Amino acid sequence: MHAFISHGHRDKPWVTPFVAKMRLSGADIRLDEWEIRPGDSIPGKVNQALDLVDTVILFWSADAAGSAWVNTEMESALTRKLTEDGFRIIPVKLDGTPLPPLLRPLMYVSLETGEEDLALRQILGIGSEAELLRTMQQTIQEAGLEYRYFPGLGVMVACPKCGAPSSGLRAIQDVDYARDDIYQGAECTRCGWSDASEV
């Protein structure tokens, strides 16, 4: 799947992690914050991305309905759908905002219930949770990423501050005796960044 993501600006906190999971599952995704750089023409980049994809995933919400950009992207996608066999538009409902009349005949995916993995599987055509996880694991293995697991933080590929590889991170632990809590995490040996959470 080569997909363009259309969404309202205020929906970014929900859309970005969902789309990252799609990428981890092997989908080729065009998302504005990953593709557009300072100095680029925003309409030019969006137009270029819409020409390169075979699917537009339209995250629909009250914010998206009020966005001139989202409506313009939707109109462009509908025009392509009318003229190109195989071009797909997948509406993804984030809230109870009704779909526009021209999208209502299309099968949509709902994130209103919070079942992200089910929605992801529906979009990608993956049958089971196990198959989805195997697909993600295969993507990680094929990328040859060096990663480590740190209790309290999870899997780390690199320092989020300086980009040092996971081999440059060391496990840390601290005990809060007054609260009887143990905190574990990681610290970067290069820049000193650290983070931990209660375990």
- Residue pair 186/197 in contact by the 8 Å Cβ criterion: no
- In words, the CATH class of domain 2-143 is alpha beta
Categorize the per-residue pLDDT at 158 as very low, low, confident or very high, splitting at 50, 70 and 90: very high
Residue 40 is predicted with a pLDDT of: 62
Position 194 pLDDT exceeds 90 = yes
* pLDDT: which is higher, 43 or 157: 157
Kindly report the three-state secondary structure assignment for every residue of 23-82: HHCCCEEECHHHHCCCCCCHHHHHHHHHHHCCEEEEEECHHHHCCHHHHHHHHHHHHHHH
Residue 96 is predicted with a pLDDT of: 95
Categorize the per-residue pLDDT at 160 as very low, low, confident or very high, splitting at 50, 70 and 90: very high
Domain residue ranges of the chain, discontinuous segments joined by +: 2-143, 148-198
Q: What is the mean pLDDT of residues 188-197?
A: 96
Output the furthest CA–CA distance in the chain (Å, rounded): 68
Axis-axis angle for helices 12-24, 129-143 (nearest 10): 70
Q: How far apart are CA 170 and CA 176, in angstroms?
A: 20
- Give the helix/strand (H/E) hosting 18: helix 12-24
Which tens digits make up the pLDDT trace of 123-135?
999 999 999 999 9
Across the chain, mean pLDDT equals: 90
Q: What is the mean pLDDT of residues 77-81?
A: 91
Residue 169 is predicted with a pLDDT of: 97
Decide the pairing of beta strands 169-176 and 181-188.
antiparallel
Q: How far apart are CA 29 and CA 27, in angstroms?
A: 6
Position 42 pLDDT exceeds 70 = no
Q: Is 130 helix (H, G, I), strand (E, B) or coil?
A: helix
Rounded to a whole number of angstroms, the CA Rg of the chain reads 20
- Residue pair 50/76 in contact by the 8 Å Cβ criterion: yes
**C-alpha 76: how far from chain center:** 22
The fraction of the chain above a pLDDT of 70, given in percent, is 92
